[in-house]
Each structure stands twice: as structure tokens, then as C-alpha cells.
Structure 1
Amino acid sequence: MGSRWRKAKLALSSHLCAYAPRTQEDAPAAASSSAAEPVEPTRRSDSRASSDLEFRPSTPTPSSSGLRLSKFGSRSSKRFCAICLGSMKPGHGHALFTAECSHVFHFHCIASNVKHGNQVCPVCRSKWKEIPFQGPAAEVAHGRSRINPLDWPRDDGWMTLVRRLPPPRPRLDSGRQFNAVFHAPEPTAYNDDEPLDSSLSELLIRDHLENIESIAKTVEMNTFVELPAVPATDCRESFSVLIHLKAPASNSRQSQQNQGSAFQSHRDRAPVDLVTVLDVSGSMAGTKIALLKRAMGFVIQNLGPSDRLSVVAFSSTARRLFHLRRMSDSGRQQAMQAVNALVSSGGTNIAEGLRKGAKVLEDRREKNPVCSIVLLSDGQDTYSVSAGANQNRQMQTFDYQTLLPFSIRRNAQQGQAQIPVHTFGFGTDHDAASMHSISETSGGTFSFIEAESVIQDAFAQCIGGLLSVVVQELQVWFECASPGVSINSVHAGSYTSRVSDHGQRGLVDVGDLYAEEERDFLVDVRIPASSMSILSHPEVVVLKVGCVYKDPVLQELVNVDMDGVVIQRPGNVSPQQNVVCVEVDRQKNRLKAAEAMAEARALAEQGDLAGAVALLGNQRWALSQSVAAQAGDGLSLALDAELKEMQERMASRQVYESSGRAYVLSGLSSHSWQRATARGDSTDGASVVYGYQTPSMVDMLMRSQTLSAASSQQNRPSRPQIKQSRSFTGPLLPR
């Protein structure tokens, strides 16, 4: 009895809120006093409101804001710390902290958690009025032990304290409470970007020149024809020629494979200017914003000292949290502090956030070779789109295209995206149509994050590509090489393509390519009948193909020419010469599947879900009858699985509204740009397709998953390992 009272008195003497432990003798008195008026703790005068609270030895009520020993907590919550999962037995050398919501933690664990701006309970998410913090003992720095007259268990060199949180800021006229950063003055021009480090730039160029001889630094080009031979007397109005491109490998990955170096050296790739535009509206409260902060922490830690980052947060309005600055040690620290200080409140103003994000890149004085905007939102835009547009999705898409800054929109004539925006629709309440429209208008991709736990993985895959750009401003050209041959059309998805000079020349604007990224374009040509005079020379050159692009490090143009596309024109075609090329048929399947997805989505938006499901089913049957599918082609099998998943997500109006629309639009974005997007929940192997991933994306994604598994320290099934398929360039098989 005496020792328990002694511990309570010691706790009270150090300003920790506690109440005296009850004994069996105290039980009757406690029962008789339960109906009486509770005694509130006595606080200090207003002049000292910012300091610690002083509590008298009285029993606090459940509404008391002080820290108290819980009598309602479960045994398991008292036995293990919810942060480190370690034992919490008194007297084992660790101070314990009991929060006002009755959950108990190791003091050093929760103090570290609070230090990063997390002022809510990790277990029940209740907001605290008082938080713990740690302060270094001055005496330890001078070689002396700190004063500890109470002989409490302690951590070396640290004192454990409790601090009262300041009162909330007054609400604005709109009734919404904003983070303090939203109240600071903001410059009219964002020309305060941190200058580039010239020494790092020179080092980058030197390393690039040293490795350029040992690594193939030019784009690899190959062509395939639909049939190897066409009878000389035949006229083919439509004949397919496939142009296949593959970007070179990055220096860092080659070094990693040859020398076993650490992941992604920051010295031998093009540095990036990245602006993240983050939704911090009221719907992001709780777990969502906590996971967003963790994902941003991963992004910050994987940017190099030559990369620059700025963060824009938006709710009812938008705010630049800090200027565009290099991710040096101090830059990372500032970025982490700004992200961890975010709180959720207010409405959703996506267009204003994009304007601020574009302005950061428009006003910068210096420019890194690569730039991009990453946008994440979980809700409908409540400011920029009219009510009529909300009822008409086509009108809503048009409104967003007109609202976006000109710097974000692709130039229709040049086909280049000045500032690509990669959008991430989070959860089931976001506006997938608008997010897809923003990405298509800017030349970026749209990803659908269905589950909260995979935000970091989705970000990791995206920046894995952005941090490996090896080709910029790529243009593929082709021209007819024989009389009578003409170009009918070019199938290039969302890439801008042109046919000129009466069908004699064609061009595709591709833009940037990530390391080892691949592209396929089908060119439809007309082949006339040949005269009998050329039967002695049956080999005919149909097209000449080449490309030109800019090296992002050296900022120099590189030209690549290849031999002409040749077909045979014999008098008679043998059975061996009449076999359809699997590579060409595979890409035809991809284009037809993408067209079916777009048509099914249009039917679903009109309310004809049954018709949409039937259309997807017909396309699946057509795929199964193709030459590529019957040859066991992996891309055709993956397309069939993807179409099947879309059928299931169109089973009802409710399912389509919650996830089907976003899943289909993300698939369309992936196929139209031939670039990886996140779809579904990566923890559920039946509902996700990883497509068009590059090795750098796979490496970054696995890095994210490894860190997540290590930090969770929970017993759960491990995620299957992601493997990059080398047999085809389209979507990987569903995991």
C-alpha cells in the first residue's frame, strides 16, 4: 500500500497527471462517491497557461484533459506498446506514457511520434490536448549525470516531460480551420527557387561522358511487317508495319548490375524539378492524411541533392508550403517538417492547387532537365466545376481543360507536354473523370488508388520512372520509299501523330522515355500491285524509319536511322510466307482491347451496363481467336484478364460508380500512353494489373514494399514478389 501511494505522489510532483491507485480498502469509499460531483483538477493562473498544468491529488473525471492511469484499458494495450510492440512492464528502465484517451505507450516511442507533428492517438485517432516531448539534459553534455533526486528509470541523457498544446487558432469567416502555414504571407511571384548546384551539374556531365562508351546510349529501333511477303500482282489497301522503340538503360542501373552498388545513384541521371499538389480537405482526415505523409516521406528520401521539390497543399484554397529547393540534408528536413505539419480541413479546390503547382514551375529562375507535377485527391472538386458540369461529365471534362493553365496543356501542334501532371485518384469518392481529363490534357497518367495502404507504392512506381528519364523530346519519323506506297494512318494512342505530303511522310511526337521503356506504333500503309518488270528483284523497301531526341544530361540532339522496312513481292507466296507476324498481331490486340474499353465506358456512362459487359465479352472472345493468343502470347492473356476484371466492376451501378469507372479510366490511360499506372489494390492479386513497368519502376516499388513491411512489424501475409517480364512490352500478368 505504501509503495503504491509513493509512486503516485512522485508522479504528481513531476507534473504528470495521475490519480491515486485504489486498494480493496478504498473500494467502498469509491462506490459511495461515484454519484457525487467530481472534483476538477486545479489549473494555474492564466498568465502561465502555456506552461504545464498543476494537478491536485484528486480523482479526475473521464472528461478531464489530464494524463491519467487508465482503469478501462485492456490488458493487451497495457502490456505492449502500440508503436514498437515491445513490452511495457514497469521497472524495466522505460518511462511509460498514459494518454488522456487511456492508451499507454513507451514515453520515447510516443515522444518521437509527436515530434513529427502527430498529435493524435495512433490507436484510436483521438486528438490530444497534451502531448509528451523529450528534452536533452544540459548536464550530460558537460560530462555530468543529470539531477535525478526521485531515482526514476530514465533514458540516457533525456528528460521526459509533458507539455500543454496551445489553444486552437480562431476559425476563419468561412468556418474552416486551416493550418498555420496557410496564414503566412505568400509571394506574388515564385521566382525564389533555390539555385542549381553547378558543381553537381559538372560532375553529372563528367560521369555521363565516362559511361557513354560502355553503355548503349541510343534508342533501339526495330520494325515488323504484318506478312513477310505480298504477291506482286496483289494490291493491299491496308498493310500494317510495327515500329518498336526501346530506350537505353540508365548509367545507375548498369553500375548496379556490374558493381552491386546501392539503388539509384543520384549522380548519373537527369535531375528533376517535382511539385506535389496534395489534397488536405476534410475528407482526408485520419488514416488517409497519415498515410499520405508517410508516402511523401518516401518520395523525399529518394530524391537526390540535385533534385528539387516543392509542395502545394489545397483544400478550399491552395498554398505553396515551401519554395522549390534542392533535396540536400537541410532541404529534406524542411520538406519533412512542412509535410508532417499538414492538417485536413475545408473543401476541395483542385484547379486552384494546379494553378499554384504550375506557377511554381513557370516562375522558376533555373530549370532542371526534367519537370513534373504529381496530383493526389480523394474527393469531388467543390469550387471549379459548376453544378451543371457535375451532372454532365462531358461538360465537366471540357471545363477542366479550359481551367488548366496553358503551361500544363499539351501543345496540339508540337505534341509536347510542357508540364505533365500525373494524377492519383484516391478512394471511392474521387472524381475519376476529372482526374483522367487533367492527366490526358497535360500528357501525364491517371492512377486509381483503391486502398489506403498502397499510396506509397503508387507514388514509388511513379517517381521510379521520373527519376530515370534518359530520352527527351523524342520524335519518330517515317516516309514511303517505293512508288505507289502511301501512309493511310498511324495508331499512336494519345501521342500526337501527323501524316503529311499526301501520305508520303509521317511523324509521332513521343516526348520523354524512362530508362528501358518501350513504345509500339502501328503504321497502316497502302501497297500497290507491282509491275512484272520487278519480278527479277522481288525485295521492295516500303518505309524508311528514324528518330531524333535530346539527351537530357548533355542537352544535345541524337539522330538514329535504321535500314528500310522490306517486304517480298514474289509471283507466288509460299505457305511459310503467309504466316501472320505475332508481334504485329499482339499490338493489334492491344489497340482493339483499348477501343473496347473506351466503348464500354461510354455505354456504362449512358446507363447501359449490360451492353458494356456484353461488348467486353465479345472482345474477349475475339482475343482468344487471334493468332497471338493461340500462340500463348502473354500480352493477350493479360488483356483478357483485364477485360474480365472490368466486366466484374460493371456488374451493378453501385460497383461501377465506386470503382469501375476509375479502374477503366486508369486502364485507358495506361494503354494510350503505354506507361505504367496503379490500378486497384496491390494487396489483392486478383484486382491489379501491373503494366508497362520499367526495371527502375520495379526496383522503386519493391523498395517501398520492403520498407513498409519492415516498419509495420506485424504478422501478415507477405506480398508476392513483382517480376518484370521480358517476353512482351504490354501489361504484365495479374498478380
Structure 2
Amino acid sequence: MGGDSTWKKVKIALGLNTCLYLPKTIDDDDSLHSPTPSSRSRSSDVRHRMPTTPTPSSSGLQISKYGIKSSSKRICAICLTTMKSINGQAIFTAECSHSFHFHCITSNIKHGNQVCPVCRARWKQIPLEKSTSSRVKSSINSSSRSDHDPWMLQQYMPPQQTRSDRNVPLLFQAPEPPIFDDDELINPKTEENCSANPDSNGTIEMRTYPEISSVARSSSFKDFGILINIKAPVTKGNQNARVPLDLVTVLDISGSMTGTKIALLKQAMGFVVQNLGPLDRLSVVSFSSSARRLFPLRRMTETGKQESLQMINSLVANGGTNISEALKKGAKVMTDRKFKNPVSSMILLSDGQDTYTSLSPRQKGLKTDYHILLPDCNIPIHTFGFGIDHDACAMHFISEQTGGMFSFIEAENVIQDAFAQCIGGLLSVVVQELRVEVECVHPSLKVKSIKAGSYKVVMGANKRSGLIEVGDLYADEERDFLVAIDIPVDDSCNEMSLVKFKIIYKDPVKKTTVTVGGKDDVIIGRPETTAGEETVSVEVDRQRNRLRAASAIAEARGAAERGDLTAATTVLDGCRKKLEESVSARCGDQLCVGLVAELSEMKERMASRRVYESSGRAYVLSGLSSHSWQRATARGDSTEMTSQILTYQTPSMVDMVNLSQTMCFSRSPSSSSMVKPAAASSKKKKSLRSIHSFPQRQPR
């Protein structure tokens, strides 16, 4: 009896009508046969009943939401490599017509996940490892198929679930270790590489600006402003110029993420995975009604990337939203790890509100207490509120309390760009444990205030000194802090030494402590009289405008939360007029122009209660996060004017966002290279509207 006839009998005996492909040799370029007619019939029926979603890609590339390019049929949607039957490995094509490497899809469904990773069609037949049944084994081996093809199809029989588990994805049912100390060993060559490149980066730059250059001896000056500007060094573009990252991403896969949302989330995570280096480590926690660690912290080598992408692409949206448990799980990954990379961070994305945690106010009529959501972990958490139904207040609170950033993702297609901007910063940390010390020099002076946003400020007991705890800085990132003092009448000298600044930080590459400044005093003249009105420093006025705008935004938000949108818009209008009359505005300062545009945008988002609830609140909170930490956030879908505002964004962030917006799969199915599409410029312009930033500081 011929091999083909034997195989047909085996299929009939198993009651299967399969889309089964024989593996071809490694030299054969044509990796797939055409599917059977019955497969086409089932496929068309499934596509008629279910919406299509974009193919999750390892690079997070922009793929049309209206369908899948034909070239992707020759790429496995799980491991994202060319669909070739190398070394005799089998290729499985499901009843929905999508094809995968056998070893990829068996890994995907072994936890009970019986839906297609691409189109979410529920399968009636799934591939399983070769049966131990002697009848099946002997029948397959007697056919013309290679013994390297150890698989078969079986009717799917879902495991029984209890009533309490019906909303929990089956992927969550596998046990987890009690302690997450199974993180992958940090590359032992990391320290050697860093020490071998001691001059990888420069040192921090520091500049100071008094509000005016002189004050008459017979005059006093209240709230005299002194600005300190610090700028982090620029990396030289190699792996040794930065330190490795430990990153935990906490991803919402609740039922509301079904369809395009989860596909775009997988795509964005694919981009993150592909842009992490071999020394960086990643762990992913997914959550819905419960939370689960998909895999421990592992280095993003080629093998680590491939295995991580397989797990990410196996995610299925289902169940409720348990943010509290998810953050605790993510924090546990960080606290239980055996080894630590120099930089650690968490990312949380959610499109809904926590449905499992009681967030009742401390007292009736007061604000909701979100402290219960915070994990016991001293790690920055960067939060991403997705869509109009997420809890913006909770997400902003989590990021603010942990030192992270809150981004508002209003449009589905900018998830990847938002993630790109975030990791562009995290992968460029060049300064750690930064603190700024200020000390009064003249004996009659005291520090009245230090404007530092959300950074911790510690004042000396005698108010003649102060300290700002800044923490990490990304490459080429800047910080501005405004110190205020009262200058008294003084007839004893021609000039006055006001204060001196000292910066102390850790160079994470060299593993050394660096001190900058501490010797040069900020000095102003004290002439007998001054000729006319002194010229105000544009640098100081610019920062006063930024602080004024941030204060107005916070005040307007408070009024909006009380339901008084009229008062909120009045506050914004008043601040906008003051900015337009300022010294820096008259000098054409672009930061001032951007702040005015931002206030106008916020006013539009407070036009009605419905608009404020759907997008205004999240937009405002993301803006407050950006100003308070002086760091870029993704913010809604900004106006054309606001899209040109570029402060806070660093070159590494810009480069990563540009990479996200311009990369796509090559049309050649035999190549995995990336190309820049001809239409990238128009899409890039549109996407930039969703990444909010301010114009770069003007050259001095």
C-alpha cells in the first residue's frame, strides 16, 4: 500500500480533515503548499464571522488594520521568522488558514489557548505532540512523512474550569514559583565592558542665571530668582556608553482589550523586545481578573527575544481588570530577583479601571485613596492610560508616587510610539542618584523657596541651604530649578555673592561619584544707582512661565474636578494672557509659544463635562506629569501647533520614535530586513501629533 494511501486512512481513522503540509528540504524556497478546499471554506466562514486585526510583529511595525499583507503568510506570526521547513520541521496551517511552525504553535496552545494568535478564531482542531498510541505512531511512520515531523491534530477538548475561573484566561492556570528568584544571570562581561571604556561619556554641564545682573545698594529685591540649569552628557552611541536595563512590563489583557487593541499591544511589545540589547533583561506580567508572570527576567539575546515573542503573542484578551494584583506581581519580580542591572523600571498599560480593588475615599466627599494600588517596591512605574475608559487619576497617582511618567494614549495606533519614547529614555541613562545642593554665601541671605516640581526638596534648618534629589537623567536631558531669595539693602560693597551650587551624582558606566561646581559663586553688582530698569534674564523668565503654566493647569484641574468648568477655563485664559505679556514672549521664545498652545488645547478639552471626562482629564494629568518631572510624555492627539512643541524630549527618545514610525516589513518574503516606506513621511507627521513635547532650548 502506498504511503499517500496510508496517510489518508490515518486521517480518516482520526476523523480529521486537516490542512497538513509535508516538510520540504532546506534548499526549497517555496515553503508552503496551497491549503485544501475545505480549509478555504472554513477560513472564509471564520473571516465572515470575526473581525480581522493587525498581525503582531516583533518590530512593532505599522501594519494596516484592515487586513494582512500577503507577504506575512510566509512569516510565522509567533516567532516572526521565515516560514521554512528547516531540518524537517513541520508547518501547521489551521482551519482559519493561518500557518505557523509546529514547535511554535504547540508551545502556544499547550496551556489551553485554542484560538488563532492572528485572527482570534476559535479552533476545533489543534496540533499536539505525537501520540503514544501505537496505532497512530505506526501508521504515521509507515507513511512517506519524515520522522522529524512528530505531530498530529486532535479535536480540542477544553479543560474544565470552575465557576470562579470562567473569566480567567486558561493561560493563567499553570502554577508559578512561590519566589521569583529564577531571573537569568546578568552577563558577567558587563562590568568588564564598562571598565574597558572609562571615557564613554562626558560630565554634567551646569549653568546659573541671576534674574537681573545688579541691584542698587539702597534697594531691596523680594523673591529674587536664580536659575540653575543642568544638562546630562551625551552618549557616544555604543553599548558600553550606557548601562543595562531590567524592565518589567505589566500589560492589561482584560476583555476590553479584545481585537485590534491587543494586536497593537503585541506589536508595540514586539518593538520593545527587538530594541532591547543582549545585556538588558525583560519580564512580562499580564493581567485581567488575575495576574501572571509570563516569563522571568531574561536577557534579550536572540534566543531570549524569540522565546519572549512567542509568549507575548500567545496572549488572549479575557476577564476583568485587576491592576492592584498586577502591580504586586510586577514588584515581586523586581524584589525577588537574584541579580540586578544598574537601571530598573516598570511599565504599566491599562485601558480600564480596577474592578477588583475597593478604592473608596478616606472620608465621605473627599478624593479617592489610590494608595492601596501601590506595590511595595522602590521602582519607577511609567503608566500608560489607553483609550477613554481608563482610570486616569489612578494611573497618574501610581506614576507620580513612584517617580514615573503618566502618558495618555488616546488613539490606538500610537501605543508603539508611546512605548518607543519611553524606552528611548530608559536605554540612555547616563546619570544616577543626582542631587543638587544650594548654599547661601552672603551672611544676610536665606533660601526662601526652591521650585523643583515633583522632585524632593530638603531645606536646611537655618534656611541657608537646600537640597534637590533628582535621581536618574537620560542622555542629553536637562533640568531647570529656580531658587528664590530676598536681597536686602546693603551699602557695604560693590558686588554681592549670593549662592553657590554643587552637583553630586553617580556615573553608572564608570561606577564613580562625580562632583561638579561648589566653588563658583553667583554674583550680582551692587552699584549706588542703576540707570533705568534692569533687563530681566530671558532664561529665568522662561522658567517662571513654565512654572506659572503648570500651576494654572493644576488649579484648572481642581476646578474641573469640582464640576466648575467655567472657573477652570477662566484660570487657563488668565494664565495664557500673562504668558503672552511676558519678557520671553516679547523676545519670541518658543517655549512660551508652546505653553500658550498647550493652555488653549486644555481649554478645548474642558469645553463640556463629556469632553473632560472622555479625554480632558487624562490630557491634563499627562501634562502635569510632564511639567512636574520635566520629562516627555505621550499625550492624546495634540493640535498641529502643540505637535511642534519639543522641550523634554531627548535625542534618544526622538530617534526611537522615528524608528517606530518609519520601520516596516520588507515586501520580499525571503528577507527579514526592514525598509523605510515611501509613505512614511505622512504617517510620521500624523503620529508626531500624539507625542507631546516642547521646542528645544534656544542656543545661548
TM-score range, shorter chain: 0.7 to 0.9
Q: Which of residues 397, 400, 405 in structure 1 aligns to 2:375?
A: 405
| Deviation of the 1:272 alpha carbon | 0.8
Q: Within 2, Cα distance between the matches of 1:444 and 1:725?
A: 17
8 Å CA contact 1:445–1:669 kept in 2: the answer is yes
| Deviation of the 1:350 alpha carbon | 0.6
| Deviation of the 1:344 alpha carbon | 1.2
| Deviation of the 1:522 alpha carbon | 0.4
Equivalent AA in structure 2 for residue 333 of structure 1: Q
CA offsets 1:447-487 (integer angstroms, 9 cap, x no match): 00111111111111001101110100101001111121111
8 Å CA contact 2:431–2:505 kept in 1: the answer is yes
Residue in structure 2 matched with residue 380 of structure 1 by the alignment: 353
8 Å CA contact 1:52–1:164 kept in 2: the answer is no
Find out whether 1:304 has 2:289 as its counterpart: no
Q: Within 1, Cα distance between the matches of 2:625 and 2:339?
A: 31
8 Å CA contact 1:518–1:729 kept in 2: the answer is no
Deviates more, 1:383-392 or 1:484-493: 383-392
Cα distance, 1:694–1:228 mapped onto 2, change above 3 Å: same
Equivalent AA in structure 2 for residue 553 of structure 1: V
| Deviation of the 1:659 alpha carbon | 0.6
Q: How does 1:50-89 map to 2 (within 5 A)?
A: 52=17, 67-68=41-42, 82-85=67-70
Cα distance, 1:614–1:66 mapped onto 2, change above 3 Å: same
Cα distance, 1:121–1:193 mapped onto 2, change above 3 Å: closer
Cα distance, 1:220–1:291 mapped onto 2, change above 3 Å: same
Find out whether 1:224 has 2:191 as its counterpart: no
Q: How does 1:527-542 map to 2 (within 5 A)?
A: 527-531=487-491, 533-534=492-493, 538-542=494-498
| Deviation of the 1:268 alpha carbon | 2.8
Find out whether 1:612 has 2:568 as its counterpart: yes
Q: Within 1, Cα distance between the matches of 2:334 and 2:597?
A: 40
Residue in structure 2 matched with residue 467 of structure 1 by the alignment: 427
2:332 alignment partner, SS class? helix
CA offsets 1:487-522 (integer angstroms, 9 cap, x no match): 101000000012213221011000000001000000
8 Å CA contact 1:679–1:688 kept in 2: the answer is no
CA offsets 1:29-79 (integer angstroms, 9 cap, x no match): xxxxxxxxxxxxxx966xx46x65599xxxxxxxx99844859999xx9xx
Q: Within 1, Cα distance between the matches of 2:438 and 2:349?
A: 38
Q: How does 1:244-393 map to 2 (within 5 A)?
A: 244-252=229-237, 265-386=238-359
Q: Which of residues 486, 506, 526 in structure 2 aligns to 1:550?
A: 506
Q: Within 2, Cα distance between the matches of 1:341 and 1:500?
A: 55
Equivalent AA in structure 2 for residue 609 of structure 1: L
Q: Within 2, Cα distance between the matches of 1:131 and 1:683?
A: 48
8 Å CA contact 1:480–1:505 kept in 2: the answer is yes
1:719 alignment partner, SS class? helix
Q: Within 2, Cα distance between the matches of 1:199 and 1:87?
A: 38
| Deviation of the 1:234 alpha carbon | 0.9
Q: Within 1, Cα distance between the matches of 2:453 and 2:46?
A: 61
- Select the structure with the greater relative contact order (CA < 8 A; seq sep ≥ 6): 2
Find out whether 1:703 has 2:693 as its counterpart: no
Residue in structure 2 matched with residue 499 of structure 1 by the alignment: 459
| Deviation of the 1:191 alpha carbon | 1.5
Q: Within 2, Cα distance between the matches of 1:219 and 1:277?
A: 33
Q: Within 1, Cα distance between the matches of 2:474 and 2:291?
A: 31
| Deviation of the 1:193 alpha carbon | 1.5
Cα distance, 1:68–1:15 mapped onto 2, change above 3 Å: farther
Q: Within 1, Cα distance between the matches of 2:660 and 2:415?
A: 10
Residue in structure 1 matched with residue 228 of structure 2 by the alignment: 243
Cα distance, 1:336–1:280 mapped onto 2, change above 3 Å: same
Residue in structure 1 matched with residue 631 of structure 2 by the alignment: 675
Cα distance, 1:198–1:54 mapped onto 2, change above 3 Å: closer
Residue in structure 2 matched with residue 455 of structure 1 by the alignment: 415
Cα distance, 1:540–1:681 mapped onto 2, change above 3 Å: same
Q: How does 1:418-437 map to 2 (within 5 A)?
A: 418-437=378-397
CA offsets 1:265-311 (integer angstroms, 9 cap, x no match): 33331111111111111111111111111111111111111111111
| Deviation of the 1:671 alpha carbon | 0.1
| Deviation of the 1:395 alpha carbon | 3.7
Q: Which of residues 534, 543, 552 in structure 2 aligns to 1:578?
A: 534
Q: Within 2, Cα distance between the matches of 1:405 and 1:699?
A: 32
**Coordinate RMSD, CA, aligned:** 4.2
| Deviation of the 1:122 alpha carbon | 9.2
| Deviation of the 1:405 alpha carbon | 2.8
| Deviation of the 1:114 alpha carbon | 11
8 Å CA contact 1:479–1:544 kept in 2: the answer is yes
| Deviation of the 1:404 alpha carbon | 1.8
Q: Within 2, Cα distance between the matches of 1:123 and 1:315?
A: 20
2:270 alignment partner, SS class? helix
| Deviation of the 1:162 alpha carbon | 9.7
8 Å CA contact 2:225–2:484 kept in 1: the answer is yes
Q: Within 1, Cα distance between the matches of 2:423 and 2:192?
A: 24
Q: Which of residues 545, 564, 573 in structure 2 aligns to 1:589?
A: 545
8 Å CA contact 2:291–2:329 kept in 1: the answer is yes
Q: Which of these two proteins has the greater Rg computed from alpha carbons? A: 1
Cα distance, 1:611–1:73 mapped onto 2, change above 3 Å: closer
Cα distance, 1:342–1:725 mapped onto 2, change above 3 Å: closer
| Deviation of the 1:12 alpha carbon | 13
CA offsets 1:336-393 (integer angstroms, 9 cap, x no match): 121111111111111111111111111112211110111111100011234568996x
8 Å CA contact 2:601–2:639 kept in 1: the answer is no
| Deviation of the 1:718 alpha carbon | 3.0
1:267 alignment partner, SS class? helix
Residue in structure 2 matched with residue 61 of structure 1 by the alignment: none
Deviates more, 1:329-338 or 1:664-673: 329-338
Q: Which of residues 520, 523, 530 in structure 2 aligns to 1:563?
A: 520
Residue in structure 2 matched with residue 193 of structure 1 by the alignment: 183
Q: Within 2, Cα distance between the matches of 1:110 and 1:675?
A: 45
Q: Within 2, Cα distance between the matches of 1:113 and 1:129?
A: 15
Q: Where does the alignment leave 5 or more consecutive residues of structure 1 unmatched?
A: 1-10, 17-42, 56-63, 89-93, 136-146, 150-157, 253-264, 408-417, 731-735
Q: Within 2, Cα distance between the matches of 1:123 and 1:420?
A: 33
Cα distance, 1:186–1:714 mapped onto 2, change above 3 Å: farther
| Deviation of the 1:330 alpha carbon | 2.0
Cα distance, 1:438–1:115 mapped onto 2, change above 3 Å: same
Equivalent AA in structure 1 for residue 206 of structure 2: M
1:382 alignment partner, SS class? coil
Residue in structure 1 matched with residue 158 of structure 2 by the alignment: 168
Cα distance, 1:719–1:549 mapped onto 2, change above 3 Å: same
| Deviation of the 1:553 alpha carbon | 2.0
Q: Which of residues 582, 597, 600 in structure 2 aligns to 1:644?
A: 600
| Deviation of the 1:638 alpha carbon | 0.5
1:251 alignment partner, SS class? coil
Q: Within 1, Cα distance between the matches of 2:639 and 2:93?
A: 34
Equivalent AA in structure 2 for residue 234 of structure 1: S
Q: Which of residues 505, 512, 523 in structure 1 aligns to 2:483?
A: 523
Cα distance, 1:339–1:401 mapped onto 2, change above 3 Å: same
- Of all paired residues, the percent bearing the same amino acid is 50
Residue in structure 2 matched with residue 205 of structure 1 by the alignment: 195
1:341 alignment partner, SS class? coil
Q: How does 1:684-703 map to 2 (within 5 A)?
A: 691-703=647-659
8 Å CA contact 2:447–2:463 kept in 1: the answer is yes
Cα distance, 1:709–1:594 mapped onto 2, change above 3 Å: farther
Q: Within 2, Cα distance between the matches of 1:132 and 1:72?
A: 19
Q: Which of residues 683, 686, 691 in structure 2 aligns to 1:718?
A: 683
Equivalent AA in structure 2 for residue 248 of structure 1: P
Cα distance, 1:391–1:483 mapped onto 2, change above 3 Å: closer
For this pair of structures, how many residues does the alignment match?
623
CA offsets 1:400-428 (integer angstroms, 9 cap, x no match): 22442332xxxxxxxxxx31100000111
CA offsets 1:95-124 (integer angstroms, 9 cap, x no match): x999867xx78x689999999889867997
8 Å CA contact 1:250–1:468 kept in 2: the answer is yes
8 Å CA contact 2:278–2:299 kept in 1: the answer is yes
